[in-house]
Amino acid sequence: MSDSSRRRFLGAAAMAAGAVGMEAAASADDRVRGHTDPTLDGEKLPSFKFAMEDQEGRVTEAGSAKEATIKQLPVSKGLAGVSMRLKPGGIRELHWHAIAAEWAFMIKGKVRTTVIAPDSQSEMNDFDAGDVWYFPRGHGHMLQNIGSGEAHFVLIFDDGAFSEFGTFSSSDWLGHTRPEILAAALGVPASSFAKFRKEELYIVSGRTPPKEVPPLHQGEQRLTAQTHRYPLLAQHPHTSLAGAGEERRVSAKEFPISTDMTGVILDLNAGALREPHWHPNADEWQYYISGKAQMTVFGSHSRVRTEEFKAGDAGYVPRGYGHYIENTGDGPLRVLIGFNTGDYQEISLSTWLAANPDAILADNFKTSDELVARFPKQRVFIASKDGPE
């Protein structure tokens, strides 16, 4: 090897070693911080709140939608959400989502859906307030308000970069496909598509739907192996504490098709507390349905942030971050919570402490044995304003 070649070789090796060293240092700093997300890497925690219902959103002839994604709430990288309303007969047109699954909770009204799977199996369902639906990523679906009043539901998607306004809509696709292609594919004259709109219709007015489930264009339904509907509020609470509140939960265990999302309805009485806890395997996206609350998030390195929430606000907690929710209003608080996993996991402060010897706890916090002896011996989960049961 010539001297010049050797110098170039040694210089490249030094640069590579320096890059590795810089990467290792950055990784070490990330480990100190407890994450690798620059959004969370500041001296102070970013906002975990977005006043979603205070926004104008997108309004059409037959409904409206307001969203909270990483564009509106930059910390919300793992999940996104939409508050959608449909007028009677309103149709959220046939569409699909390329990057995210859709999990939804009905707040009020009545909605009918159709969904198609890759194996050509399909399902049509009617949903009432308290029901949940789940559509896997990429499955085509449609929503229609079949009630006499407004239908309101919240959609949660397992990707924070997802935008409801960037879906793959049927009207947009057909409007930008050559008529002769549509004629060949669908067996009708090309002239039939002359008046098809060139823009996405999104939410359109539909005719008054029949009360009974109508026949599909293909005739009978080719039913999917797993249903897309789950009546969440019709179930007994997963946890119920008199005077404090209750929680209803649906994961893949109860709703097998929902492989990568879990949903929770948390109800807290006035003054009650969802105790400090964290989720080891999932981010958390929240929609405050009613009431007033405070949420406090702990982000390591002495960083803590508390924010106030009202009905219509969206909240977010990154995976592994400690947090708790307080009902600060005079009446009940109801929160819809979504997680980007079908395997629900959480660790509560009370259970964590109870899983250690008293002497360890006393020495860990430099406090008395007498105080530690009064700590709960089991999980608290929800505490009333007077403390744990």
Which residues, 6+ apart, have CB-to-CB distance to 277 below 8 Å? Answer: 322, 323, 324, 346, 347, 348, 349
CA–CA distance, 344 with 13 (Å, rounded to integer): 46
53 is catalytic: no
Give the active site residue among 93, 102, 275, 284: 102
370 is catalytic: no
Which residues, 6+ apart, have CB-to-CB distance to 360 below 8 Å? Answer: none
Give the active site residue among 85, 112, 139, 141: 141
Amino acid at 58: R
164 is catalytic: yes
Give the active site residue among 67, 85, 93, 97: 97
31 is catalytic: no
Give the active site residue among 85, 92, 152, 248: 92
Structure tokens at 273: 């507390």
Judge contact between 377 and 355, C-beta under 8 A: no
DSSP letter for 40, please: G
58 is catalytic: no
Give the active site residue among 85, 95, 228, 274: 95
Which residues, 6+ apart, have CB-to-CB distance to 91 below 8 Å? Answer: 62, 142, 143, 144, 145, 203, 204, 205, 206
Judge contact between 385 and 270, C-beta under 8 A: yes
Structure tokens at 296: 């406090």
- Which one, of 41, 51, 108, lies nearest residue 81 by Cα? 51
Name the one residue in this structure whose structure tokens are 């909770």. 105
Instruction: Give 320: exposed, middle or buried? Use CB within 10 Å, 0-12, 13-18, 19+.
Output: middle
Judge contact between 327 and 333, C-beta under 8 A: yes
- What stretches of the chain show up as alpha helix (H) in DSSP? 3-33, 170-175, 179-186, 349-354, 358-365, 369-373
CA–CA distance, 216 with 218 (Å, rounded to integer): 5
Give the active site residue among 67, 123, 164, 246: 164
Which residues, 6+ apart, have CB-to-CB distance to 131 below 8 Å? Answer: 105, 106, 229, 230, 231, 232, 233
323 is catalytic: no
CA–CA distance, 385 with 389 (Å, rounded to integer): 10
DSSP letter for 129, please: T
Q: Which residues are the active-site residues? A: 92, 95, 97, 102, 141, 164
